[in-house]
Structure 1
């Protein structure tokens, strides 16, 4: 670690370890803790609205049915149904503010403060929240959730990317955002549609396959993930943190790509990654990272002061 080099803190799904993920209260809490970038996930509804959700089907862990959108709705209950098969009105009936773990060892349940009666937000609502709180200096890291192995659940990647780019442009945020995806078709679409907006190539062991990498075989790159990412138009490579070691960092340097690993919740591992030279870490616990940064004499991002006592979901 070179003294004076800044390593960014990226709040994962807002601050998943502290508040409900991909919700307005969760994103606001991350801003109030203080992050350099606010990461969240998007999918497309049946009526072509952009909503925050990590899963392509309604998760029973993060969402609970409350009532049908209208009496006799044959799609009800909605939990377990595809996001792209439900309208915004149907999805907005869900309570997304209380984590309901399926296993007793769920790592987030003990630390995540519930916010009951919280709704699944739209992308536009998030952009409005950031504007209201004057957080224009915090970058929005928008992960587009598609799964090329499950095309019936996924939006067309180019159309999806165009929708996201249009919304960012409408709010004047193209220069204050980044587009992230495991599906590298999204990266290539983003490079064409918004070349000035950074693009993060997400990678994990399960997606090291041509179907995820838009036809690329890592063997053709000698197993060099960063070189493959650069060929897809990525401006940053963002791997699962267990993939990052000295060899990975050297390959990324040769490709000219900064490295931002996910999801880093252990301060000891974060310290190792800092020493390896990463540009940032994605974390469910930005509070823990801030403590580590402070202990090491590193700059921490400014928290956003609260203006209102309550942010509706």
Structure 2
């Protein structure tokens, strides 16, 4: 049994559905989350952004992409989420279009962008034991997003508190400044540092908060621990047994993303990771049942 806080503390390997279960149902819709719960996940990963009128909504992209969104009123495709009110966003169908690269993906016709409150309430009703990996979409190179970092975080923490999920979630971000701020505002809420290959841990990186790559810290795991993370969530190509050993030595659990190939899932379990995030949580649970036995 791991002493690191998280779903793995029970001794169970953590399988998290990515944006619900993106490979099965159109992402970040209630139907996609339901598919993840039905598969038997221990956790779900989701993305949050702020609307123009201050609502925390569950959506990945900064703009409404034509491959995912269909206007049912005024044409809002191509608009920035941050420039639209919740009422405006509610006019957009985000469930009818499936993605070419996901042949098994089912539509959820008429689905609308949900608020974080709605997704949490739905999850608590359907699968009250799941952990929530809540990715705050903040790009430190985008002045608008970085200026609203605190407002978004405060909105997330408020909704997590109201749902009584403070001990059952991770504040999760590529922008490590979010994690440092979260450690100040809500030290009891666990934090997860996202890492993208060739982007996060490079000299001059704007993504690592107060940590200066190669100066204050040389190793990415030690850097993540320094900003107050309990979890490091690297792009899976970065992970091998040595990475896991370094992370565990720094007190971090390891939760790689986004792992969809069966052979790679098994390799990561053998390397000692604590869990993984997949577009196909049903596949991961099926493949990993013997590997985790």
| Corresponding residue for residue 187 of structure 1 | 179
Distance 1:286 1:236, change over 3 A: same
Paired residue for 1:35?
41
Q: Please, what TM-score do these two structures have when normalized by structure 2?
A: 0.91
Spell out the pairing of 1:1-313 with structure 2 (5 A cutoff): 6-68=12-74, 77-101=75-99, 106-108=100-102, 110-133=103-126, 135-153=127-145, 156-204=148-196, 205-209=198-202, 210-220=205-215, 223-296=218-291, 298=293
After TM superposition, the structure 1 stretch with the greater mean CA deviation from structure 2, 122-131 or 208-217, is 208-217
Task: Measure the CA separation in 2 of the matches of 1:172 and 1:137.
Answer: 12
Partners of 2:106 and 2:284 in 1: CA distance: 18
Q: Measured at CA, do residues 253 and 131 of structure 1 come closer, stay the same or move farther in structure 2, by a change above 3 Å?
A: closer
C-alpha RMSD of matched pairs (Å): 1.8
- Which runs of 5 or more structure 1 residues have no equivalent in the other structure? 69-76, 299-313
The TM-score with structure 1 as length reference comes to 0.85
Could you tell me how far apart the structure 2 residues matched to 1:247 and 1:265 are? 22
Task: Name the SS of the counterpart of 1:207 in structure 2.
Answer: coil
Please name the residue that 1:302 is paired with: none
Deviation at 1:230, TM superposition (A): 0.4
Change in 2 beyond 3 A, CA 1:206/1:61? farther
CA separation of 1:139/1:78 partners in 2, compared to 1, >3 Å: closer, same or farther? same
SS of aligned partner of 2:92: coil
Aligned in 2, Cα 1:221/1:254: closer, same or farther, shift over 3 Å? farther
Offset at residue 28 of structure 1 (A): 1.1
Distance, in Å, in 2 between the alignment partners of 1:206 and 1:64 is: 32
- CA distance in structure 2 between the partners assigned to 1:32 and 1:80 by the alignment: 33
- The answer to whether the 8 Å contact 1:146/1:155 transfers is no
Tell me, yes or no, if the aligned pair for 1:142 and 1:178 is still in contact at 8 Å.
yes
- How far 1:153 sits from its partner (Å)? 4.4
Alpha-carbon distance in structure 2 between the residues aligned to 1:15 and 1:178: 18
For residues 57 and 249 of structure 2, what CA distance do their matches in structure 1 show?
37
Which protein is bigger by CA-based radius of gyration? 1
Q: Compare 219-228 and 172-181 and name the one that shifted more.
A: 219-228
* Equivalences, count: 282
Listed one character per residue, the Cα deviations across residues 255-312 of structure 1 (whole Å, up to 9, x for unaligned) are 11111100000110010000010000000001111111223363xxxxxxxxxxxxxx
Q: Who is 2:6 aligned against? A: none
Aligned equivalents of 2:12, 2:41: Cα separation in 1: 13
Aligned-partner Cα distance in 2 for 1:224–1:190: 22
- Deviation, 1:100, is 5.0
